Amino acid sequence: MNQLLLRGARVASVGAALFFVSPLSFAQQDDQDPLRGVDLDARMLEQTFPGFMGSGSGYTSRFDPSFNPAMGLIIDSLATFSEERGEEVDQFDLRSVEINLSSRIDPLGWAYLVAAFEEDEFELEEAVFIMDQLPANLSIRAGKMLADFGKWNTIHLHDKNYVFEDGVRSAFFGGNLNVTGVELHQWTGIGDVPVRWSLGVHSNFFGGHGHGEEEGGGAHAHGGEFASGAIDNRGLEEFAFTGRGTAQQDFGANGFLQYGVSFFHTGEGLVDRHDNNDDGIIDEEFGLGQTTVALDFTLRSVDAGARTADTFSMELWRNQRDGLTPADEIVGRDANGIWGFYQHDFSPFWGAGVQGAWWQDALTDLGSDWFTGAESGSQRAIFVTRNFSEFNRLRLQLTQDHHVGESPSWSLALQWDVILGSHNHPLDW
């Protein structure tokens, strides 16, 4: 009886082995098989973990690089020759050295990280976890990220078509809107038109590359900074909410027309701290609100038969924010802005374009009229781009900046960007 059971167990184990082992394991046992003569366990391990037997390309299964994150390094350097307030400012500037890592974590999601060294400071620009396997094409982005606001906010400055940030974004947000929070995304199609939307809730938000709380923590002009400041006991009014809806239609054989609407809103989430006595102690703190709505329109057409391309993009912004009067009364202020650029690529190696921006002063009470009634700033630029390769780019840009309350200034900038390591061609919407 025992022998019968033993025999049954052997038959079952052989059956199980036949069931679980890939037929390829046996199909490959020919004269060319490097594993010929190797016992079955080792064969299975080698086929499951290539390199286990030392026959791979120098890697063991434990250190197979295919599970490592993709890594990239972008060096963004700038030589600027400018005249600011009547003084010449010429400098070479390593504007940023950006490291990015990305990897799928597991079947549920992936993550990426973007960190930059700027002016000898290390700064985490983005650290995002994306759950991308939710039903109905839903996904969740959580962490510190560039908010889904307008067409260009999620693009890092060195990846944009021009050297300097557009004036409207700089005036209203202080740069790219960087947030810490959660965004829910979905894309779908209405007929043959792809559409997507997102909604986000954020506890921290600031413009530029993320000096937010540090910059917001000091004394400064009334309402002049864009940074969240509440640390604890946070109420709903101190969160920020973002949203975007966009659609993209085909334009020609290899182009698209995209349009969208975005908003940013916080009830009292922006902070303004006053050090009335200049003693380093904050005497008063004000929570300020802001609502910004932007309409964006982008036309991109690539002639893949001639390798030329045209890109036109513009955004119209409406900014409503709380401001402080000299008597520390909170008042509502409105300002508008419009910016855009056009670029023609003569080939994959050469391109040229123009950029323009106009915005009303967001810090005065006079900006409620759409195009009049407030002091305004403007920006004009012309640029030429030379791509030596996909990873090596030189750009020359002549810019005239006319900031509110200042005389116009000119600058000539030479930007040199190089990409090391991993790169990709992301979905363009």
Partner 1 sequence: MKLPRLVFTISLFLAPSLTAQEPLEIVATVPDLSNLVEIIGGERVHVKTMVPPGSDPHSVLPKASLLLKLSRADGLILMGLDYEHAFLPALLEKTRNQKVLPGGVGYMNVGSRIQALEIPENLNRMQGADLHPRGNPHYNLDPENGRIMAQAARDLLLALAPQWKEEFTARWQAWDTDAQRRMRNWAHWMAPLKGKKIMTYHASWPYFAKRYGLEVVAHVEPKPGLAPSAKHLLALKKQIRQEQISLLIMEPWYSESRIKNLLDEQTTLLKLPTNSDGKKQSYLDFLESVVGEMRKAHGLPAKGEDLSSAHAPQSSRAD
Binding region for partner 1 (CB under 8 A):
132-133, 137, 187, 189, 192-194, 196, 248-250, 253-256, 300, 302-307, 309, 347-349, 388-391, 424-429
CB nearer to partner 1: pick between 137 and 407: 137
CB nearer to partner 1: pick between 18 and 193: 193
The answer to whether 255 and 308 have CB atoms below 8 angstroms apart is no
CB nearer to partner 1: pick between 250 and 406: 250
Cα–Cα nearest to 415, from 32, 125, 94, 30: 94
**What Å distances lie between residue 79 and 76, 208, 398, 412, CA to CA?**
10, 20, 12, 8
CB nearer to partner 1: pick between 55 and 254: 254
CB nearer to partner 1: pick between 184 and 330: 184
CB nearer to partner 1: pick between 342 and 429: 429
| C-alpha of 51 from chain center | 37
Question: Which uninterrupted H or E stretch holds 380?
Answer: strand 376-389
CB nearer to partner 1: pick between 226 and 341: 341
How far apart (Å, rounded) are the C-alpha atoms in residues 178 and 142? 13
Residue 181 CB, shortest distance to partner 1, in Å, is: 22
Residue 176 CB, shortest distance to partner 1, in Å, is: 21
Residue 253 CB, shortest distance to partner 1, in Å, is: 4
Residue 272 CB, shortest distance to partner 1, in Å, is: 40
Residue 74 CB, shortest distance to partner 1, in Å, is: 15
How far apart (Å, rounded) are the C-alpha atoms in residues 337 and 316? 6
**What Å distances lie between residue 300 and 164, 196, 258, 327, 345, CA to CA?**
21, 18, 8, 49, 11
Residue 392 CB, shortest distance to partner 1, in Å, is: 8
CB nearer to partner 1: pick between 254 and 372: 254
Q: Which amino acid, one-letter code, is at 395?
A: R
Residue 394 CB, shortest distance to partner 1, in Å, is: 14
DSSP string, 283-325: -EEEEEEEEEEEEEEEEEEEETTTTEEEEEEEEEEEEEEEEE-
| CA–CA–CA angle 195, 243, 151 (5° rounding) | 60
How far apart (Å, rounded) are the C-alpha atoms in residues 127 and 113? 4
**What Å distances lie between residue 219 and 165, 203, 214, 230, 306, CA to CA?**
25, 22, 11, 16, 55
Neighbours of 140 (CB within 10 A): 14
**What Å distances lie between residue 216 and 150, 196, 209, 237, 324, CA to CA?**
24, 33, 13, 18, 15
Residue 307 CB, shortest distance to partner 1, in Å, is: 5
Residue 145 CB, shortest distance to partner 1, in Å, is: 17
Six-digit token pair at 263?
């908003």
Helix/strand/coil (H/E/C) assignment for every residue in 118-149: ECCEEEEEEEEEEECCCHHHEEEEEEEEECCC
